[in-house]
């Protein structure tokens, strides 16, 4: 009975992770329990150490076990460019695209009045202070294109323009994904692609 209880608790703990359903959690639990004891112990030690030592970067809110995260500490980043995202996962997607060489700021959420999430809950004041302290020239808003994400981008634009009228504020474009076939793309995405079209100069 004790063993079954512990297995169930492990499965329930894994289910708490985002995107992990009951079957996936069960498979992961049995895989962990079927692995060598040393591997399971190493995973357990690493997880406990990470929970104990990993914290938010005081500059951008990224997760790190150092004073500053690797992106804030890097001397090769452009201090005049700041990309604002909702989460660490969003930042990693942009980083993996190899399309950005500036700094980051992670809101750790987005405005959602119905859920009780306001500007003070997603580091608006910290963002305003950082833009001023580091003399940022351009802020790129890379929040999601959900109603909440759009509202967050609009609110950030309004507050930054109030404090820094000369600041350049841009929004990432939205449109047809690379490699997608037009006939299988939803009409809203196609509409945005048309609105965000770029003019190609004649050679």
Identify the sign of the CA torsion 12, 16, 22, 23. negative
**5-32: burial string, b at 16+ Cβ within 10 Å, e else:** eeeeebbeebbeeeebeeeebbebbeee
Question: Residues 6 or more apart from 131 whose CB is under 8 A from it?
Answer: 82, 139, 160, 163, 164, 167
Mean pLDDT confidence for 13-31: 90
Is pLDDT of 130 > 80? Answer: yes
Beta bridge partners of 170: 140
Residue 1 has a pLDDT of 39
Q: For 85, list phi and psi in degrees, rounded to 5.
A: -125, 170
What is the CATH architecture assignment of 2-53?
Answer: Orthogonal Bundle (1.10)
What is the domain class of 74-171 according to CATH?
A: alpha beta
Is pLDDT of 3 > 90? Answer: no
Q: What pTM was estimated for this model as a whole?
A: 0.80
What are the structural domain ranges in the chain?
2-53, 74-171, 174-203
């Amino acid at each position: 009975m004790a063993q079954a209880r512990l297995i169930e608790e492990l499965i329930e703990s894994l289910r708490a992770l985002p995107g992990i359903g009951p079957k996936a959690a069960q498979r992961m639990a049995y895989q962990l329990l079927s692995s060598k004891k040393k591997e399971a112990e190493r995973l357990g030690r690493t997880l406990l150490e990470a929970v104990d030592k990993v914290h938010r970067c005081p500059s951008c809110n990224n997760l790190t076990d150092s004073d500053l995260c690797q992106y804030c500490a890097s001397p090769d980043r452009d201090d005049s460019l700041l990309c604002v995202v909702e989460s660490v996962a969003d930042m990693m997607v942009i980083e993996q695209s190899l399309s950005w060489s500036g700094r980051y700021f992670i809101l750790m959420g987005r405005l959602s009045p119905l859920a009780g999430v306001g500007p003070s809950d997603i580091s608006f004041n910290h963002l305003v202070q950082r833009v001023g302290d580091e003399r940022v020239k351009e802020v790129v808003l890379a929040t999601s294109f959900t109603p909440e994400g759009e509202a967050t981008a609009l609110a950030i634009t309004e507050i930054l323009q109030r404090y820094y009228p000369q600041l350049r504020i841009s929004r990432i474009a939205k449109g047809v994904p690379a490699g997608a076939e037009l006939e299988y793309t939803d009409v809203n995405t196609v509409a945005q692609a048309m609105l965000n079209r770029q003019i190609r100069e004649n050679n």
